[in-house]
Amino acid sequence: MSKHSSSKQETTESDSSVQEMLQPQNQWALIRRSFYKWKMAVFSLYVIIFLVTISIFAPFIANDMPITYVGQNRLEYRHAYLYLTSQLPKLAVSNPAASPQKGKPIKEILQFQIQQMSSCLPNEKALELKEISQKINDVASSSDDKKAAVKKIHSLLEKSFHPKEIQLKTKRYWPLLSSLNGGEVTFMLLNLAFLFLPFYRQISGRFFPKAQWLVAAVLFLAVPILSGFLWWLSVPERLDRTNYKSAVYAHEAESFPKSDAVIETSLWTPIAFGIDEYNLNSINLPPAFISGQSTKNQSLLSKKWDTPHWLGTDGIGRDLMTRMIWGGRISLAVGIVAVSIYVTIGIIIGSIAGYFGGTVDLFISRFIEMVIVFPSFFLILTVIAFVGPSIFNIMVIIGLTRWTGVARLVRGEFLRVKAQEFVLAGRALGYSPLRIIYRHILPNAMAPVLVAATFGIAGAILIESGLSFLGLGITIPKPSWGGILSTARTTFDSAPWLTYFPGLAIFITITAYNLVGEAFRDAADPRLRGK
């Protein structure tokens, strides 16, 4: 009885496995299943995701400002007061009767500074400042002589709201969040959405079976972009120069009356160092895991903030791990954005050449051959020498000089696919060429393009590192892996670790992208699939 039941169970399992194998699957499902058989490529993909996530969330990992704190920000109030009093005389020369728009900008500037001051004041003082704000509005809308009124407002501000005489209120601040811009918020949300991708199909298939693509577009595109745009509108960009570390222990230091802020409680990032925070007492320190880092000759204040430099410090005492994390933002962003640019250009040009053929294909093919003749790296060097080194210029120039390979791949795929039955059926139904190209042919021709993109990202990172190493890349003080290598050349004998870690990061990143590209190439090729 047991043998009969076990044999029946084995037969059922084999039948189900055969049905699963015979079940029709699209090309992308076959590619995905074949890709996951490459263990090293899957591990490399996780390494890439880890590096990209670390670089995107660098402000929350390594920073010299707290995520949040409770206390007083004297520097913010002081700057708002000084800017308000310096711009106030301009109100006296505005003439709204002659030019209604002329007095509006200065009034808005003054009101914004008053709002900044009010947020730092107790309720009683905030009400007094509100009365002064109303007086500024009255003066701005008046056509009489304003010099006496402006002088009176200035004396009231100096008497009752001078930074040396005022007592600020204690409240909660979010300096790290305030330092983010709209682009950073967008990419952080995109990264979180991408990390959520493995769970998306299960959840969307259960709750939104008929609208999976619509939900995906909203979740992975609309929400991050809209959130970043709203953040850009509501949170003004500003350069925060507050010395938060000294503010934590300001009450123990002799410079308490002059400190930028007073912090009672705070929450800091795991690595409490900034990308430009230097300490001349900690020059060229070796990594903390190699030898202990002494703090003999450091002041009491610096001792309280002396945490290990796990990768050592550079020639002016900056933490190398912090600069490596922030430098990954530049190197990885250049690779991804530059490849996105030239993949887009290559898809458009290659699809037009492959679909229409004839004279159009002949002209585009000759143009591609003309562009591909020039050595891309030397062409990039020449253009950078004229337009100047910046992250935007480097990304655009790489994108505009390396699209030819993608265009030829797309052209070849279109020549292969356009003669198949579903394309002929689309033409017979009267579909427009644009719909046939981008709705029906392109999804079936994207596999080799994505393979080229993974190799292209590695190549773009290598180009950016080479440009930075030659001094034509990202300018100081912005760190990049190639830039860190370039500055470490002079100290290789005394501090070789300054070249080891950025070089290792470049090597690991490029190797990971190449392994993913090779695995994806083999998975996309039916002749190699399954081997």
pLDDT tens figures, 186-212 = 999 999 988 887 777 777 667 766 766
Among 123, 144, 169, residue at a domain's last position: 169
Structural contact between residues 465 and 331, judged by C-beta atoms closer than 8 angstroms: yes
pLDDT in tens, 452-464: 888 888 888 888 8
Pair 194, 336 in one domain: no
Pair 407, 442 in one domain: yes
pLDDT of residue 79: 87
pLDDT in tens, 28-86: 677 778 888 888 989 999 999 999 999 999 999 998 889 999 988 888 888 888 888 88
pLDDT of residue 372: 83
The more confident residue out of 387 and 407 is 407
DSSP notation for 359-387: HHHHHHHHHHHHHHHS-HHHHHHHHHHHH
pLDDT of residue 296: 45
Helix axes 74-87, 103-118, angle to 10 degrees: 160
The more confident residue out of 369 and 240 is 369
Q: Per-residue pLDDT averaged across 277-300, rounded? A: 68
Among 169, 204, 222, residue at a domain's last position: 169
Q: What percent of the chain has pLDDT over 90?
A: 9
Q: How high is the mean pLDDT of the chain?
A: 79
Pair 217, 87 in one domain: no
- 461 DSSP 8-state letter: H
Q: How many domains is the chain built from?
A: 3
Query: Where residue 143 falls among pLDDT bands split at 50, 70, 90?
Result: low
Distance CA 260, CA 267 (A): 18
Query: Which amino acid would we find at residue 369?
Result: E
- Name which of 9-13, 238-242, 305-309, 361-365 the model is least confident about: 9-13
pLDDT above 50: residue 166: yes
pLDDT above 50: residue 299: no
Helix (H) or strand (E) holding 203: helix 197-207
pLDDT of residue 17: 41
Pair 114, 201 in one domain: no
Q: Is 259 exposed, middle or buried (0-12, 13-18, 19+ CB in 10 A)?
A: buried
Q: What percent of the chain has pLDDT over 70?
A: 84
CATH number at residue 357: 1.10.3720.10
Residue 156 lies in a domain: yes
Among 234, 261, 277, residue at a domain's last position: 234
- For 367, the token pair is 């143009």
Can you give the residue range of the structural domain that contains 108?
68-169
Q: Per-residue pLDDT averaged across 139-143, rounded? A: 74
pLDDT of residue 325: 93
Beta bridge partners of 70: 172, 265
Distance CA 243, CA 130 (A): 29
Pair 517, 484 in one domain: yes
Q: Is 308 exposed, middle or buried (0-12, 13-18, 19+ CB in 10 A)?
A: middle
Nearest to 498 by CA among 328, 318, 303, 277: 318
pLDDT above 50: residue 98: no
pLDDT of residue 18: 40
Query: Where residue 15 falls among pLDDT bands split at 50, 70, 90?
Result: very low
> In Å, how far are 348, 417, 429, 436, 518 from 424, measured between CA atoms?
21, 10, 9, 10, 33
pLDDT above 70: residue 251: no
Pair 483, 362 in one domain: yes
Pair 125, 193 in one domain: no
Structural contact between residues 354 and 414, judged by C-beta atoms closer than 8 angstroms: yes
Pair 153, 205 in one domain: no
pLDDT in tens, 464-520: 888 877 777 776 677 888 888 888 888 888 888 888 898 899 899 989 988 888 888
Pair 358, 430 in one domain: yes
- For 88, the token pair is 């106030």
Beta bridge partners of 69: 173, 266
Pair 164, 184 in one domain: no
Q: Per-residue pLDDT averaged across 341-357, rounded? A: 88
pLDDT of residue 100: 43
- Name which of 94-108, 269-283, 319-333, 517-531 the model is least confident about: 94-108
Beta bridge partners of 172: 70
Taking the alpha carbons of 391, 394, 396, 399 in that order, is the dihedral positive or negative? negative
The more confident residue out of 256 and 244 is 244
Residue 516 lies in a domain: yes
- Name which of 30-44, 236-250, 289-303, 457-471 the model is least confident about: 289-303
Pair 143, 201 in one domain: no
Q: Using CA atoms of 302, 308, 309, 315 in order, give the dihedral in degrees to the nearest 10.
A: 40
Pair 216, 324 in one domain: no
pLDDT in tens, 112-130: 888 888 888 888 888 888 8
Other CB atoms within 10 A of residue 210 CB: 6
pLDDT above 50: residue 1: no
pLDDT of residue 326: 92
pLDDT of residue 24: 45
